[in-house]
Structure 1
């Protein structure tokens, strides 16, 4: 049973495709308070909490790039930021912290708030959009909360796949 690592990465890849379709297809994922979650963001963070640095970096880059493409732009902010966040998370969890679901949830909360918040500041507030405060209250707060709460079921699924498809 040494090829289970292949099936684990295949399962992660299928999750990337499924969550990308849910995230990018209009009216497929319900909007709460005027926004949809960034589903690939919690997936990349959940994978980084259980995998080594290189797979975490790769899945972070793929999930970030697809998040950028789903937003209608080219590959940019989320590809870079999610790659760095996932690499750092994997390194920190393999070196300093015990990678349990609580620590992964706390890291996910911090990473989600900071990355989406910085995205909003750079691309919305500082770019001169009128009434950016209303945009933040009406759409971005709910997007941050919705994205964070999606982390918990995604993390449980990723941890299940990691535990059951681990090389023995």
Structure 2
């Protein structure tokens, strides 16, 4: 058995580029209920569910940084949050839980809701954005649901890539 880690990480990197283009390009990904999904968030979580701590940390930081850049700002909130969440997920799945699709989905749902809610609280509510309640109902609830729904196909693809490059 040979480990083809380079090809696995290369395919993850191509997936990061593809999802970043889908996420950042206007009118390329359809909006549902006034928002687009954060596609790199479920990708980072899917990779962290099957990889060790260091690759999970790196892909979490890259996906978080690109999410911050796609949002129009510099590298900041999502880079830090995804780095920590992905490292913790990889450690927990490697140590305590069986890394199957159900446990990864539950973890992803929790991480998606918490990371987007904390972002909303910090950058919208505490910043004093007027009518933040309307903004939350019209955009952020659908963004959370849309992002989580995209986790399922992205996780299946990441698991396929992980299994494809493990054994030869």
TM-score bin, normalised by smaller chain: over 0.9
In the TM superposition, residue 167 of structure 1 has moved relative to its aligned partner by 4.9
Q: Where does residue 131 of structure 1 map in the other structure? A: 131
Q: How is 1:55-74 mapped onto 2 (pairs within 5 angstroms)?
A: 55-74=55-74
Q: How is 1:118-157 mapped onto 2 (pairs within 5 angstroms)?
A: 118-157=118-157
Is this contact kept in 2: 1:5–1:167, CA < 8 A? Answer: no
Which secondary structure state, in structure 2, belongs to the residue aligned with residue 129 of structure 1? coil
Q: Where does residue 105 of structure 2 map in the other structure? A: 105
Q: Where does residue 95 of structure 2 map in the other structure? A: 95
Q: List gaps (5 residues or longer) in structure 1.
A: none
- Could you list the structure 1 runs, at least 4 aligned residues long, displaced by more than 4 angstroms after superposition: none
RMSD of aligned Cα (Å):
0.9
What do the CA deviations read for 1:42-72 (whole angstroms, capped 9, x no partner)?
Answer: 0000000000000000000000000000000
Q: List gaps (5 residues or longer) in structure 2.
A: none
What CA distance in whole angstroms lies between the structure 1 residues aligned with 2:77 and 2:27?
25
In the superposition, the TM-score normalised over structure 2's length comes to 0.98
In the superposition, the TM-score normalised over structure 1's length comes to 0.98
Is this contact kept in 2: 1:38–1:67, CA < 8 A? Answer: yes
Which secondary structure state, in structure 1, belongs to the residue aligned with residue 97 of structure 2? coil
What CA distance in whole angstroms lies between the structure 2 residues aligned with 1:122 and 1:133?
14
What CA distance in whole angstroms lies between the structure 1 residues aligned with 2:162 and 2:58?
16
Matched residues, number: 168
